[in-house]
Amino acid sequence: GLRRWMTDYVAPHALWSAEQYRAAGHLTATALERGLKVVRFAFADVHGVLRGKTLVREEALRVLRNGVNASATLLLKDLCGRTSFPVYTPGGGFGIPALQGAADMVLVPDPLTFRVLPWAPHTGWVLCDLHFQDGAPLPLSTRYVLRRCLDRLGERGLEFVAGLEVECHIFRLDGTAVPVDGELPATLPLNTGYQYLTEVRYDEIDPLMEALRVNLQALEMPLRSLEIEFGPSQVELTFGPTVGERPADLMVLLRSAVKQVCRRLGYHATFMCRPKLDNVVSSGWHLHQSLRRVADGVNVFASAEALLSALGQGYLGGLLAHAAAATAFSTPTINGYKRYRPFANAPDRVSWARDNRGVMVRVLGGDGDPATRLENRVGEPAANPYLYMASQIVAGLDGVDRALDPGPSADAPYSADAPALPKGLVEALAALRADGCFQEQFGGFFIDYFCRLKQAEIDRFMSAVTDWEHREYFSLL
């Protein structure tokens, strides 16, 4: 409609800060100075998958303050790409006329996220926020969900600090043929596995790890370490702490960057939790988190007299109290629940302890350490980071407000008397629907949307005939 002929959509709706306007100037100057050919306008869908449009430089700079139109149905698809809502019915399946008929949403670039992609140096990249045509934020945007939670922290004079510890698998592609739809790429392991932190194994794949290091640091990511993990072809990347929505922005860019760099070099990277390949073990995403006072930068989890401050104890209590519901966001795939196994450096129940890798929440630091933090080990690396982090803030603040006691530590985590984590996605979604705190803070509208999308995934899984079923029944019955 009329909006596509405007020259400035951002200013009338007050969508940028002064800092973002300055960053937009830097984006324009960089695009011209470095001779960029295209700019990718990207956003993370509800699954955490980056989608968007690529514009030639001249058009990208022209629409920078006007946004880019894209079909809102991109937010209504399950992981197979099928639209899971009746978008052509009145209200588009949501009672929102603006979503009816596969209508457009507006991708508004956040210039603060602009990068030049080092593996494609002709290409700029910028993360976008999602809005209706009238300027209102789109409530289905997961970046918007996180920002609302961060605003709640800001009202208390606090900000969210998070560091990333991410495992993934990287395999060598066996052949160059593109698999047909439904087939998996043929792959070979990089090593024989079960060689945790072995220097020789690292050196064997040093050229690949160096390519990742060069590209991730060129993206200005706070990379700390690259490690050989336990299983064959499994690696771990860790990143220093960042503030606000930046750690979530980094996570979506990290996954996309690793996959793109690896593919160009003849490898396949996957953040799937537990691939069905010989000897492969599960991958996790450990989220290190704390809260910091904006006024003086003090970590409010730290205490000189105790392991955690009273606020930190309440926050931990909230993570435990809402653990079952929050797993729908930290572990949003059917596959991810196969990681919750005893004696596997992964949690299988709702527990905490100091520096223990078998619990759900590991407390690090303490006794006045300014780096005191909670490491939630429950997540899978495929989780949408905006929802994962938002779920932590919602659960933690509820614990703070109610002064929830986290209870005793689980020093023997796999035999502790503690509630079991959900056994599967169906159980997690049921817990989410029943959690009044999430219903209130995320909004019943969003919870219903999220659950309906995940239910579509579950329904497809339940209708598929698996290898296990074929082996179990085909000959005997």
Q: List phi, psi (to 5°) of 164.
A: -105, 135
> Which of 44-48, 188-192, 270-274, 316-320 shows the lowest mean pLDDT across its residues?
188-192
29-86 pLDDT, tens digit per residue, is: 999 999 999 999 999 999 999 999 999 999 999 999 999 999 988 998 898 888 888 7
Is residue 1 scored above 50 in pLDDT? no
The position carrying tokens 């790890």 is: 209
Identity at 343, one-letter amino acid code: F
Identity at 407, one-letter amino acid code: G
Number of H helices, E strands in the chain: 13, 16
Contact 335, 280 (CB under 8 A): no
Beta strands 223-228; 234-239: pairing state: antiparallel
Contacts of 471 (CB under 8 A, 6+ apart): none
Question: How many residues in total does the chain contain?
Answer: 477
At residue 267, the pLDDT reads: 96
Beta-bridged to residue 363, according to DSSP, are 354, 374
Model confidence at 2, pLDDT cuts 50, 70, 90, reads: very low
At residue 6, the pLDDT reads: 54
Q: How far, CA to CA in Å, does 52 sit from each of 39, 49, 67, 317, 431? A: 10, 10, 12, 39, 32
Kindly report the number of other CB atoms within 10 A of residue 73's CB atom.
18
Give me 208's structure tokens: 């690949």
Is residue 323 scored above 90 in pLDDT? yes
For the segment 455-468, the average pLDDT, to the nearest whole number, is: 94
At residue 236, the pLDDT reads: 96
Nearest-angstrom CA–CA distance, 250 and 267: 22
Kindly report the number of other CB atoms within 10 A of residue 26's CB atom.
12
Identity at 54, one-letter amino acid code: T
For the segment 365-384, the average pLDDT, to the nearest whole number, is: 95
Identity at 75, one-letter amino acid code: L
Model confidence at 3, pLDDT cuts 50, 70, 90, reads: very low
> 50 by DSSP, 3-state: which?
strand
Question: Phi/psi zone of residue 22: left (φ > 0), alpha (ψ -120 to 50 degrees), beta?
Answer: alpha
pLDDT more than 70, % of the chain: 97
Identity at 445, one-letter amino acid code: F
First and final CA of the chain: distance in angstroms?
61
Task: Give the torsion sign (CA, 61, 66, 71, 73).
Answer: positive
Instruction: Give the DSSP letter string of 399-453.
Output: HHHTT----S--SSTTTSS-PBPPSSHHHHHHHHHH-HHHHHHH-HHHHHHHHHH
241-256 pLDDT, tens digit per residue, is: 999 999 999 999 999 9
> Which of 267-271, 279-283, 431-435 shows the lowest mean pLDDT across its residues?
279-283
Is residue 329 scored above 60 in pLDDT? yes
Nearest-angstrom CA–CA distance, 61 and 32: 10
Cα-atom radius of gyration of the chain, to the nearest Å?
Answer: 23
Q: List phi, psi (to 5°) of 198.
A: -85, 125
Q: Supply the pTM of this predicted model.
A: 0.95
Nearest-angstrom CA–CA distance, 300 and 298: 6
> 398 by DSSP, 3-state: which?
helix
> Which of 91-105, 142-156, 172-186, 408-422 shows the lowest mean pLDDT across its residues?
172-186
For the segment 396-416, the average pLDDT, to the nearest whole number, is: 95
For the segment 270-295, the average pLDDT, to the nearest whole number, is: 94
Contact 139, 384 (CB under 8 A): no
Is residue 182 scored above 70 in pLDDT? no
